[in-house]
Amino acid sequence: MEIHLSKSSDVPLRQQLAEQIVTLITTGEVRQGAQLPSVRALARQLKIHHNTVSEAYQDLVQRKWLTRSRGSRLVVGASASSTQPPGLDALINETIQRAKDMGFPLQALTEHVRERLLAQPPDHILVVEDEPGLRQLICMEVREQIAFTVSGCSLVDFESQPNLAVGAQIFSPQHVLDEIASAGALRLPPVAITYSARQEHVRLIGALRKASVVATVSISESALKTARGVFAPAIGRKHTFQERLVKPGAHVDLNGVDMAFCDSATILTPMKGRKVHYRLVASECLDNLAQSLGVARQRSTPGGLGGGGVGKQEG
């Protein structure tokens, strides 16, 4: 082992020795299972007291960089193995300890780690939307077409937990983007959610020749409210309009309904009449989101009415 110690440094010899051995291990110069020199042999080589070597070795054993083998000889332990890396907590603890040993305050470590994390490319999409049902639907539609981890939170949670921005590509309605931007540092600008147009849905209702029962089925109160206002002119006095607010996974009785506009959470609900997939997020918006992440968008498997906000039942 090539080790150089300075007796004139303010850093104790024990610490210099321990950290240099760690560096040799992490750079691969000393591999897992390699046997280290005895305490006295290394002390003679470095021309230092054997107690200094002994203390450095004991420190590395406690930190699990070294383990004792038969005959009390020390070998590089499993925690330094590249094939079996230490757990996240162990890595964090090791980093904190090394920073403290080198004289860095914890505040500086916190600030630098956060800066580095924010500089990393996003590893997930974060949907920020206050209504739980609407948030769940948006997450479902994004997962369906973009191969990326997706999670969601409310605006209140986002503002109170700055770490939610770490590693996230924010996807949120336009009207809250200013509040999101002011809540914390973001590596990438948020992508605004654009909702799909409903002309095709209105056209389908208008094409009904006989008086019919038209229903909107959703887990979101906001989606139902929007559908009520948009479909009202086409419903008129000729048709009957129903709203079905359901819990995710719950059975929905659609007996007597001639046409049901179902969201992504309820599209698989069995019914005898016509069923139309009521998609919330505009196709172009999902294209923009995929482009911001540098990934290809996965198109849904065709299976019925397609395009825009109208889709077929998917099974």
| The CA-based dihedral angle spanning residues 86, 88, 94, 100, taken in that order and rounded to the nearest 10 degrees | 170
Predicted confidence (pLDDT) at residue 10 exceeds the cutoff of 70: yes
pLDDT of residue 78: 55
First to last CA, the chain: 62
pLDDT of residue 202: 92
pLDDT of residue 310: 39
List the structure tokens of 170. 């924010």
pLDDT of residue 84: 47
Choose among 144, 119, 81: nearest CA to 298. Answer: 144
Mean pLDDT across the chain: 85
pLDDT tens for 173-224 read 988 888 888 876 677 789 999 998 888 999 999 999 999 999 999 999 999 9
Predicted confidence (pLDDT) at residue 307 exceeds the cutoff of 70: no
Instruction: List, as one string, the DSSP characters of 266-311.
Output: TTT---SSEEEEE--B-HHHHHHHHHHHT-PBPPPPP-SS-STTEE
pLDDT of residue 314: 32
Predicted confidence (pLDDT) at residue 278 exceeds the cutoff of 60: yes
Beta strands in 164-246 (DSSP E): 168-173, 191-193, 213-218, 240-245
Predicted confidence (pLDDT) at residue 122 exceeds the cutoff of 50: yes
User: What is the share, in percent, of the chain residues with pLDDT greater than 70?
Assistant: 90
- pLDDT range class, residue 153, cuts 50, 70, 90: very high
Least confident segment among 43-47, 111-115, 266-270: 111-115
pLDDT of residue 111: 85
Residue with the larger pLDDT of the pair 315 and 38: 38
Cα(261)–Cα(239) distance, rounded to whole angstroms? 14
Residue with the larger pLDDT of the pair 78 and 36: 36
Predicted confidence (pLDDT) at residue 23 exceeds the cutoff of 70: yes
Q: CA torsion sign, 82 to 88 to 89 to 95?
A: positive
pTM here?
Answer: 0.63
CA–CA–CA angle 261, 262, 268 (5° rounding): 135
pLDDT tens for 69-102 read 766 688 887 544 444 455 777 778 888 888 888 8
